[in-house]
Amino acid sequence: MFECKLHSSKTQSAFGPLCLLGHYLTEEEVLKPLSGIQIAQKSVKHSPTNKLIDALVGILSGCKALYEIDCRVRPDLPLQRAFGRERCADQSTISRTLNAFSEQNIAQLRRAVEAIHRTNSPIFSHPFEQEMLLLEVDLTGLRASKGAEGSTKGYFSGERNRTGRQLVRVSAPGYGELIFEKLYPGNTTSCEVLKETLKEVERFLDLDEAKRKRTLLRIDGGFGTDENLNWLCWRGYQFVAKGYGGRRANKLAKSVPEDGWREGPTKSQFLGVPTTPHRYARKTKSVLRRWFDGKGKPHKDYLVSTLFELSSAQIAKLYDGRGGMEVDIKGDKRGLGIEKRRKKSFHAQEALVLLAQLSHNLLVWFKRWFLGGTEAAKLGVERLVRDVFAMPAQVRVGRFSGMVRLKLAHLHPWAKAVAVGIEAQCPRNGWHTIWRQS
């Protein structure tokens, strides 16, 4: 015989560590800049700011679509209260708020996300005198239906005749943070957006001429036109870039002596330095790469770098580090659902992009705030959302002291890391974690 009763738990949460993050953000007023967004919409039960916070919590809890908020966030009372909410708005209400976004609202949301970033990121105190700041720029496709605004045919990796939009993103791999993101129509190409993107980065990071000389850009072939590389030279940046197009690679390869090829850092890869390289606005070094794929087909491309004092192998290895950015993009697509969560309105989609950018950085800061020195600090975005944040726990908050107590299941593989990390990082702030044995 079976019996079923409806129950509303005030302490049991399916997202214990996420509740911890929510209480910290609420106590420190980290998300306060979001209150400056003025959306032309009536507030009945929930203000537009509260609904944006609900959407943010949905992203952090792993909702791949807005409708999942009703199943994952709304039933979880401790999670809602951790973010200062008595009751989460339903997904249709949140969707209407996103649909009401205008270009002015996008600018307000971007300023709010940047204000949160400035307050919490260590990148703004980067020691340029001691080491260069490494930035990576990439353009990735976000598929969308044909009827969505800005959705056109364009380049989407591995898929033909697909429609969607393009997302440009700038990241700082040394800090794990996203610096800038912006949405474009689907037929936008990489070479068209580089200058505009870097001007926004210069504004945000306050990169003057001296700092630009100590900033290293790592970009792929889509950005590597002669016009763009010369512009980077004139702006004073250091860079390592793949050259645009394959014809020049074949031409430069002919100027490499047959005995001038050396084995590269990657298996079956050979490197050569052309005797007659293309000249740019500043002194650079060009490196030819040739290799054979799994079917025995030969390939060639070339790298260009202002770090001419480095060897060919060092330049090739430095460029190969871009593979980490490709992993981060895949992690954000799977963990934060930046491609699954689709809106027909272009401004609504860009609002979701900015909220996902904020979510990514909050995850990075969560590791610094609470998981430093533990194995969990090495996890990427997808594993944090799927394995760490989605950890069942009992959450209690002291009525007068405000002390947050978490009871974590002992058998969860990441429970000990979370408990140890919180106790080590925040012994004075009243955070208390119980590592439950059963």
Q: What is the pLDDT of residues 283-322, one digit of tens each?
A: 999 999 988 887 778 888 899 999 999 999 999 999 998 8
pLDDT at 434: 53
State residue 252's pLDDT score: 87
pLDDT, position 351: 95
pLDDT on residue 176:
94
Which residue in 221, 299, 308 sits closest to 266, CA to CA?
299
Q: Is residue 259 part of a domain?
A: yes
Residue 53 burial (CB < 10 Å; 0-12/13-18/19+)? Answer: buried
Q: Is the pLDDT of residue 436 over 60?
A: no
pLDDT band at 426 (very low <50, low <70, confident <90, very high): low
**pLDDT recorded at residue 50:** 92
Question: Average pLDDT of 399-405?
Answer: 75
Write the single-letter amino acid at 106: I
Q: What is the share, in percent, of the chain residues with pLDDT greater than 70? A: 96
Beta pairing partners, 287: 303
Confidence band (pLDDT; 50, 70, 90) for 242? very high
Would you state the pLDDT for residue 74?
92
Given a cut of 70, whether residue 356 has pLDDT beyond it is yes
Average pLDDT for 352-374:
94
For residue 407, list its beta bridge partners: 394, 434
Number of domains in the chain: 1
What local confidence, expressed as pLDDT, does residue 421 receive? 87
With H, G, I as helix, E, B as strand and everything else as coil, classify residue 179: strand
The amino acid at 404 = V
Calculate mean pLDDT across residues 148-172: 87
Q: What is the pLDDT of residue 283?
A: 94
Residue 251 covered by a domain: yes
Q: State yes or no: pLDDT of 342 exceeds 70.
A: yes
pLDDT for 122-139, tens place per residue? Answer: 999 999 999 999 999 999
Check pLDDT > 80 for residue 399: no
For 275, the domain range is 235-308
d(CA 99, CA 221): 35
| Within a domain: 267 | yes
Instruction: Please determine, for residue 431, whether its predicted confidence score (pLDDT) is greater than 60.
Output: no
| Residue corresponding to tokens 């969860």 | 412
Distance in angstroms (rounded) separating the CA atoms of residues 136 and 183:
17
Q: What is the pTM of this model?
A: 0.92
Output the pLDDT for position 77: 92
In this prediction, residue 433 carries a pLDDT of 56
What are the residues whose beta carbons fall under 8 Å from the beta carbon of 112, sequence distance 6 or more? 33, 34, 36, 37
178 neighbors 200 (Cβ within 8 angstroms): no
Would you place residue 175 in the very low, low, confident or very high pLDDT band (cuts 50, 70, 90)? very high
44-100, pLDDT tens digit by residue?
788 889 999 999 999 999 998 999 999 999 999 999 999 999 899 999 999 999 999
The Cα 154–Cα 298 span in angstroms is: 27
pLDDT in tens, 244-254: 877 888 888 88
Handedness of CA 131, 132, 134, 135 (dihedral sign): positive
In a domain, residue 421? The reply is no
In a domain, 228, yes or no: no
Nearest CA among 151, 177, 148, 178 for reference residue 166: 151
Whether residue 25 is contained in a domain is answered as no
Q: Does 47 reside within a domain?
A: no
pLDDT of residue 438: 40
- pLDDT for 141 beyond 70: yes
> What gap in Å lies between CA 286 and CA 303, rounded to an integer?
6
Give me 184's structure tokens.
């474009």
Given the DSSP bridges, would you call strands 215-219 and 238-242 parallel, antiparallel or unpaired?
parallel
Domain assignment of residue 241, yes or no: yes
